[in-house]
């Protein structure tokens, strides 16, 4: 071979390496896909043989699968706060001391503090178009219904279309209520006490053992009627006051309709990508599925082997595929980092008002949503960036959903905030093979305000240890 031919081959190789390096260091688009209550045992790429998830399987085949990916919390609100900020939710105050660890009402005054910095805020300063489509669940208002202090548009997103609170059984007629325990405590027990009091007083008066003024009977009956009326008002008005869709600051559907809901949100996500195809963008697609109330459009209803839960999973997977197709159509696939995860494990104890099991699968792991056993916090973690991340790679090191914050921020060219602790770690060295071990030596697992367990991954060996505090291991009702 002549020297000139060797030189040409050398220059071509050098050009190829330079191009690959520039792509690895260029600013990609970002699509963050968040399922709600999807178990690690649900996708086919994590071992499920009966649920059809071809889009998620394609993500895993064409990218990186994290096998020890962990949610920072086993509940929606704190887990999402940690993902958005790269910090344990207890640092931002999204950690309840009570048994209820999430926002249930649109009128709740709490939310992600304005002082917290989301990756959307930092990407916006770098010229990214930013959108959140789907579920927010990190608060809306502070002091009035017009301040929108916790709204996504005040946390770095240019565009929001979705549900500001969360998807509950109470939002879908005929699916029961999540307030059964509260209704029993605040309605049924007081009514029973009033009924016993009325009966006892009536018997005593009839026997002539005491004089009971008619006003006492009237007051007790009036109190019972007031309690019943309050219950009826709550059940009647909860849905329109808490289950609605926003587009930016405007309510577009009240109460929300589940008809083709995933398809409508997917189309909106596709349109956002098309509008911003010529500039860098961040899309957070936060699915309502597969949180109860479960729903699926006519195209998917009754098609899976796992009832309405399976239908919902397969429709969500279809949505992921639609977004991937848009990237291919616009020739953006190689310039886009896709990240898919779930906010926590499957709610395996979820049963409908008709006794149907509505929870998913956490595979071999014990526990589920709302507790810190492995099934509650080990979640799917898939990343794809063609030409940069090795296709089909599996990483067995412990990682956290908090890690997406520093990963995205650094790739976008923004410095990390220096005025606060960032608990997440940049995933790129691990994904690119520059590091063989996770940077997390310790991962702390909180149940609301309380430290539940610590995972230790010693830097000098492959041992991994978890320690739990028996006094703080809370059951599902407490976390």
Residues marked active site are found at 76, 137
Task: Give the three-state DSSP class for 424.
Answer: coil
Tell me how far apart the alpha carbons of residues 34 and 42 are, in angstroms, rounded to a whole number. Answer: 14
Task: Give the three-state DSSP class for 70.
Answer: strand
Number of helices (H), then strands (E), in the chain: 13, 15
First to last CA, the chain: 70
Tell me how far apart the alpha carbons of residues 445 and 9 are, in angstroms, rounded to a whole number. Answer: 53
- Give the residues across from 337 on adjacent strands: 30
Residue 414 token pair: 């923004």
Please report the DSSP string for 174-218 in residue order.
TS--S-HHHHIIIIIHHHHHHHHHHHHHHHHHHHTSS---HHHHH
CB 281 within 8 A of CB 272: yes
333 CB-near residues (< 8 Å, 6+ apart): 324, 327, 386
Task: Give the three-state DSSP class for 158.
Answer: coil
Tell me how far apart the alpha carbons of residues 164 and 245 are, in angstroms, rounded to a whole number. Answer: 7
Tell me how far apart the alpha carbons of residues 380 and 376 are, in angstroms, rounded to a whole number. Answer: 12
């Amino acid at each position: 071979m002549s020297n000139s031919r060797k030189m040409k081959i050398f220059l071509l190789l050098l050009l190829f390496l330079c191009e690959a390096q520039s792509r690895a260091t260029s600013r990609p688009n970002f699509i963050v896909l968040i399922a709600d209550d999807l178990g690690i045992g649900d996708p086919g790429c994590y071992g499920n043989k009966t649920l059809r998830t071809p889009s998620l399987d394609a993500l895993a085949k064409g990218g990186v699968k994290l096998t020890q990916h962990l949610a920072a919390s086993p509940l929606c609100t704190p887990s999402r706060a940690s993902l958005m900020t790269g910090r344990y939710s207890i640092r931002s105050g999204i950690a309840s001391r009570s048994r209820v660890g999430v926002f249930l009402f649109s009128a709740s005054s709490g939310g992600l503090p304005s002082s917290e910095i989301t990756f959307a805020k930092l990407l916006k300063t770098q010229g990214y178009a930013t959108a959140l489509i789907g579920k927010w669940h990190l608060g809306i208002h502070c002091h009035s219904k017009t301040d929108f202090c916790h709204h996504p548009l005040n946390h770095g997103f240019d565009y929001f279309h979705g549900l500001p609170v969360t998807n509950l059984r109470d939002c879908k007629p005929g699916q029961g209520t999540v307030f059964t325990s509260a209704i029993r405590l605040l309605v049924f027990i007081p009514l029973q006490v009033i009924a016993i009091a009325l009966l006892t007083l009536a018997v005593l008066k009839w026997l002539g053992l005491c004089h009971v003024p008619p006003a006492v009977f009237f007051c007790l009956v009036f109190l019972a009627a007031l309690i019943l009326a309050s219950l009826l008002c709550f059940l009647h008005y909860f849905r329109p006051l808490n289950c609605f869709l926003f587009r930016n600051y405007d309510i577009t559907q009240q109460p929300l309709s589940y008809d083709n809901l995933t398809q409508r949100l997917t189309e909106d996500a596709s349109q956002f990508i098309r509008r911003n195809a010529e500039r860098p963008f961040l899309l957070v697609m936060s699915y309502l599925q597969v949180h109860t109330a479960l729903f699926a459009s006519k195209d998917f209803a009754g098609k899976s082997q796992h009832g309405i839960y399976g239908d919902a999973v397969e429709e969500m997977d279809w949505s992921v595929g639609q977004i991937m197709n848009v990237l291919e159509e616009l020739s953006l696939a190689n310039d886009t980092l896709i990240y898919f995860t779930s906010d926590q494990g499957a709610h395996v104890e979820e049963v409908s008002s008709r006794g149907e099991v509505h929870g998913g699968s956490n595979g071999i792991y014990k526990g589920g949503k709302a507790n810190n056993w492995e099934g509650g916090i080990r979640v799917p973690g898939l990343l794809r960036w063609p030409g940069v991340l090795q296709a089909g790679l599996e990483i067995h090191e412990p990682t956290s959903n908090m890690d997406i914050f520093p990963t995205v921020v650094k790739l976008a060219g923004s410095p990390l905030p220096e005025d606060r602790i960032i608990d997440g770690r940049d995933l790129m060295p691990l994904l690119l093979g520059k590091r063989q071990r996770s940077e997390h030596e310790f991962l702390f697992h909180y149940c609301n305000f309380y430290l539940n367990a610590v995972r230790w991954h010693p830097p000098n060996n492959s041992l991994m240890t978890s320690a739990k505090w028996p006094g703080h291991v809370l059951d599902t009702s407490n976390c």
